[in-house]
Structure 1
Amino acid sequence: MSAPYQEAIPKDDSTQPRASDFEATVGNPSDSEKSSLNSASKIQEVSKVRWILVCAGLFLGALLYGLDTTIAASVQGPILLSLGEIDKLAWVGIGFPMGAVAVILLIGRFYSLFEIKYLMIGAVITFEAGSALCGAAPSMNAMIVGRVIAGMGGAGMYLGALTYISIFTPLATRPIYNALIGLCWGTGCILGPLIGGGFAVSSATWRWAFYINLPLAAALSPIYIFLFPKHCSTPTIPTVTKLATIDWIGVTLNASVFTLFQVVLTFSGSTWKWTEAGPIALWASFAVCLTLYVIQQTFSIFTTPEKRIFPVHFLKSRTMILLYVGTAAAATGLAVGVYYIPLFFQFTRGDSAIKAAIRLLPFIVLNVFFVMFSGAILPMVAKGLYAPFYLATGIFTLIGGVLMYRVHVSTGVTSIYGFEILVAIGSGLTMQVAYSVAVAKAAKEDAQNAIGFINTAQIGTIAISLSIAASVFQNRGFINLRDALAGYNFTEDELRGALSGVQSAILKGGNAVVTQKAIEAIAKTIDSIWILVIAAGAVAFVCGVTMKWEKVDMEMVAGG
């Protein structure tokens, strides 16, 4: 089968990663195509036990990353009761993906320059430090800082796992490994609300929802330290020289753009009035940073086209753009489902955190199944034909989003399960596909850029969609509650307290009429959040229609 057409992304077949000591043992999948065909047998015959243990470490990192992505969904109420400051509550969920997306491109550049084993260990340590701070947090500010730090470390673990897979696995089976990473991440997403809800109602308290990461990582620390293979693509270049090649201005502007956008979007309307000087100044700062970032990256100011932090040349490729947008659409469906399905059941059915998390299982299990399903059939049955996956994502997500938007307080539980499963199938089908396709479409030396590019779409969109959803929930929810309870003289704090799900005078005051009106108003607010998913489904459908219906030869994957 011929190599895939490279759409404005030239390949340089002479560019090869340096063989490491581990590759010499298990086979170097980044050598010629002939070498890639027998690398799997070398791994199995020579270093099977070691490779299994290495994969265990990689998969655990992905699992912990998924765990912390969703664990906040079921512990926000207990955290609020302990730490207070309802205006900052949304950051318990948003802080983690925001920390990840702020540094993901920088981490990707690090993995292409420095020893990946040490970077992976450093990421694990950072993640554990953030988790420990969250567990011990004496205030909401400390909790937010811990979540951001954990997100930065988690991004390094996740990207490190994808990097190891791109370097050390056989080319033909790489989509399977990527799907396994997605499976472990999805399993973490399943366990997150369950573990968080379980600890929230136990004597251990919500703090162990974060502390649990420490013993899990400690158990496999010998694997990280003694068995993880070493690999550095630029072993002869001094560290100072490597650091000097990084586009630090682009790194700073990238982090500023994402951070400012999420801060102003989350706090505007809830903490600050839209017309106040604070949010106006922040919106203006965001616009300035975004403009400077676009200009600096486009014209490679204080850097070079090869060294700029964002792979601008990917924007010349229709396929890469559509892969990015399609992945973002899938991530939106996942983020909204994971956070707002349990919330709906907590408000409308009075579920505990653990029961609401259990009700999320159909969504997560089906999502994870279809992540694996698409990873398995992409190289084997579909023979690399990727466009139909995005078309299917659009159809399932759009239909599921519309049905969830029409859900009301009296909708049957069975019907809701059916609707959420449609969204789960849609988001699962293309949650991981782009990692394999983007690397296949990129030049060998651009493999790490391709991984970071898609990871920004996936994790960045989770952060942005949660910020938008939180803003809608706080602002639209307050308006809906105010209108529904007009005449009852509830204060603004009481109305916002009802949105948190805590023991508020509105929901627990004993007035059945007030409680029912409040629940209906909140359910209506959650319905409006599903508009995000409807839009994501429509976008994914357009991506599937406009993508090239081409087959990407998985035997010719670049960058490995």
Structure 2
Amino acid sequence: MGPDIDSTSDFHTRDVVKMLPAAGHSPTESFAFEGDCLATSEQEAGGDTLVQMSNLRWFGVCVGLYSTAFLYGLDSTISASVQGPVLESLGDLNLLPWIGTGFMLGSVATISLFGSLYRKIEVKWLYLGSILTFEVGSAICGAAPNMSAIAVGRVVAGIGGAGIYLGGINYISMFVTPAKRSFYTALIGTFWGLGAILGPVIGGAFAQSKATWRWAFYINLFFGAVTAPIYIFWFPRYGAHRHEKILPRIKNIDWLGALLNAAMFSLFVTSCTLSGSPRPWNSGSIITLWVMTAVITILFALQQWTAFLTTEEDQIFPVWCLKSRTLVLLYIGTAGTSAVMNVNIYYLPLYFQFTNGVGPIEVSVRILPFVCLIIFSSLVSGTLLPKFNVYTAWYFASGIIALVGSALLMRISASTPARDIYGYEILVGAGCGLTFQAAYAIALIKSPGKKATSVLSFINVAQLGGAAISLAIAGALFHNVGFNTMQSALSGRGYSSAEIHEALGGGYSPIISDSPPEVRAIAVNAIASTLAKVYTLSAVGAAAVLLAGVLMPWEKLKMI
């Protein structure tokens, strides 16, 4: 359990290629290629000891990487179909949004810290630690006695998920040749998508069975146990500093920046979740939350800009990336793509649930066009980008297609034919899939090799930050606009504010389940018109992708 990479006796010296160091490699290393995998040759005792990863072992590593990507996608959406049963079982409507936003918050609040840790700590052990954290969070959710415990568990699982996701992309950057890197990175999106589409199905199936909604979270423990031998015995060790003592390296991490970064995202998501219908915008607690969010954001920006109590090399946020026009635009484009994808994957199911009255499994079938097109176009992008390597064109096309689809979704109503919705899904899915994972491969080539982990963290912050911020804003918009719209539409019919909130929380309300057809039709129309407004965020995200494509330099990318 611990060899760096498999040794081989029959490897030919003609396959050794002298080149610039790849991500995380030291300058004394040379490199060898076998298929798609990049192996290392470390210099020892005045000579070269040639080592490489076998195809069988590399296949096992890929199984492990894509299994965790699948679990990450599964956990990202599984909560969408169990919110109602959880609310019915545990109560506490005010904390219900944390089942979804808590996971994303845990991820985005710690992704920058993980970026620093992957530069300082042995990759294998940090990856295993992230998997363990993810499983602990899942166990907390499954055994939760109340909604507060669920919220805590979701945040813990999100923290572990961030380490898993960034760790997988780091492994690919370390062991895959530049020509194949975009394809392997796209596969992470593919397996994430498979997990995302099965999330509502698996969650709904458990919620409707004797196993109950708790097994929607316990299932992660089963998958983790089955795949554990791959991570423990087959995953290679790797890290530029792995032979150095760990404590001095951890001591140099930008802990103040990590704390401010986590506080900034936590306060923003909390402020969005509580503002409006849960608590009035002009209440003292909400005003205090928004003021604290602004203050912490300013302090974080100043601390990073001045490198206060840290160094430019150890900053939690890679400020040096802001000096590159291409990297900044990749950041904007990635955040926009993430916003488009997450807004749709969370709110398309709500549309079908409310307007068609279908259950979780039927809902999952109806969002198939969206998720399948994300997967398909992501694979197309990963395969063709090295050949048609004017990357600006991909962002330009992605923005236009996603913007058209999002604009059409902004016009939907309760009576919009299902075939039209499917067409809009295809457009949006195809558009955002083209650039969902593309920035990782592009950013690695547009940055120095020694900065690989740092730039991966930069793009990860964009992707997860775009998801967390867009979902927080979308949640606030849906609940505030939806509450006001339904309250106005149902005025004089005797329904309480709590019943309206419960209806918006997943249908467990007399307004949806036990009301006369006339009342239900009014409620459904109000919710559909609210969802049309929520898709404005999808259009904004698509516009950001298009803007990034317009401003990017038209240049060819050398990926081979």
Q: In which range does the TM-score fall when normalised by the shorter chain?
A: over 0.9
Distance 1:148 1:455 in 2: 17
Structure 2 counterpart SS, 1:552: coil
Of residues 182, 186, 192, the one that matches 1:179 is 186
1:40 corresponds in structure 2 to 35
2: CA distance, partners of 1:245 / 1:264: 32
Q: Tell me how far apart the structure 2 counterparts of residues 535 and 348 of structure 1 sit (CA, whole Å).
A: 25
**C-alpha distance after superposition, 1:335-386 (max 9, x if no partner):** 0111111100110110111111211111111111111110000012x1x321
Q: Secondary structure at the match of 2:512?
A: coil
> What is the distance in 2 between the residues matched to 1:161 and 1:503?
39
Asked if residue 481 in structure 1 is aligned to residue 486 in structure 2, the reply is yes
Q: 1:138 aligns with which of 122, 136, 145?
A: 145
Q: How does 1:83-98 map to 2 (within 5 A)?
A: 83-98=90-105
Aligned-pair CA distance for 1:466: 0.8
SS at match of 2:511: coil
Deviations 1:27-79 (A, max 9, x none): 99995489657343777996111111111111111111111111111111111
Match of 1:240 in 2: 247
Mapped pair 1:327 → 2:334: yes
Cα distance change on mapping 1:527 and 1:83 into 2, 3 Å:
same
Match of 1:207 among 180, 197, 214: 214
Instruction: State the alpha-carbon separation in 1 of the partners of residues 32 and 415 from structure 2.
Output: 57
Structure 1 contact 20–231 (Cα < 8 Å) conserved: no
Gaps of 5+ in 1: 1-18, 556-560
Contact 1:29/1:170 (8 A) holds in 2: no
Is 1:74–2:81 an aligned residue pair?
yes
Equivalent residue number for residue 393 of structure 1: 398
Which residue type is aligned with residue 253 of structure 2?
Answer: I
Cα-to-partner distance string for 1:259-286 (whole Å, 9 max, x where unaligned)? 0000011111132111111111111111
Look up the SS of the partner of 1:315 in the other structure.
helix
CA contact (8 A) 1:390 1:540 kept: yes
Kindly provide the amino acid, as one letter, of the partner of residue 66 in structure 1.
Answer: G
Aligned counterparts of 1:29 and 1:500: Cα–Cα separation in 2: 58
Q: Tell me which amino acid in the other structure corresponds to 1:22.
A: I
Q: Mean alpha-carbon deviation: is it higher for 498-507 or for 437-446?
A: 498-507
Question: 1:227 and 2:222 equivalent?
Answer: no
The CA distance in 1 between the partners of 2:119 and 2:187, in whole Å, is 23
Match for 1:541 among 528, 532, 546?
546
Decide whether the 8 Å contact of 2:391 with 2:555 is kept in 1: yes
3-state DSSP of counterpart to 2:510: coil
Q: 1:344 aligns with which of 351, 361, 366?
A: 351
2:470 pairs with one of 462, 465, 474: 465
Supply the AA of the counterpart residue of 2:427: L
When residues 323 and 354 of structure 1 are mapped into structure 2, their CA distance, relative to the original with a 3 A threshold, is same
Q: Report the Cα distance in structure 1 between the residues aligned to 2:521 and 2:53, rounded to whole angstroms.
A: 65
Structure 2: distance between partners of 1:274 and 1:510: 31
2:199 aligned partner: 192
1:36·1:170 contact (CA, 8 Å) conserved in 2? no
Match of 1:287 among 294, 306, 319: 294
Shift of 1:432: 0.2
- Taking only the aligned residue pairs, the percentage that are identical comes to 45
1:438-457 correspondence runs (5 A)? 438-457=443-462
Q: Could you tell me which residue of structure 2 aligns to residue 7 of structure 1? A: none
Report the AA paired with residue 529 of structure 2.
K
Q: Higher RCO, 1 or 2 (CA under 8 Å, sep at least 6)? A: 1
1:554 to 552, 555, 559: 559
The equivalent of 1:125 in structure 2 is 132
Cα offset, 1:234, TM superposition = 0.9
Correspondent of 1:359 among 366, 369, 382:
366
Question: What CA distance in whole angstroms lies between the structure 1 residues aligned with 2:510 and 2:250?
Answer: 56
What is the one-letter code of the residue matched to 1:522?
A: I
- Gaps of at least 5 residues in structure 2 are 23-29, 40-51
Secondary structure of residue in 1 paired with 2:35: helix
Give the aligned length: 535
The one-letter amino acid of 1:189's match is A
The verdict on how the C-alpha distance between 1:326 and 1:30 changes in structure 2, with shifts beyond 3 A counting, is: farther
Q: In structure 1, what is the equivalent of residue 414 of structure 2? A: 409
1:159 matches 2:166: yes
Instruction: Find 1:113's aligned residue among 120, 144, 147.
Output: 120
- Alpha-carbon distance between aligned partners in 2 of 1:85 and 1:452, rounded to the nearest angstrom: 36
Change (3 A) 1:187 1:513: same
- Paired residues of 2:394 and 2:435 also in contact (CA < 8 A): yes
3-state SS of 2:276 partner: coil
- Aligned in 2, Cα 1:43/1:298: closer, same or farther, shift over 3 Å? closer
Give 2:152's aligned amino acid: V
User: Aligned partners of 1:142 and 1:338: how far apart in 2?
Assistant: 25
Quote the residue 1:435 is aligned against.
Answer: 440
CA distance in 1, matches of 2:214, 2:436: 30
Given residue 496 of structure 1, which amino acid in structure 2 is its aligned partner?
H
Is this contact kept in 1: 2:3–2:237, CA < 8 A?
yes
CA deviation map 1:470-504 (0-9, x unaligned): 10111001100011111113211111112123331
- Residues in 2 aligned to 1:299 and 1:409: alpha-carbon distance in whole angstroms: 52
2:510 counterpart (505, 509, 520): 505
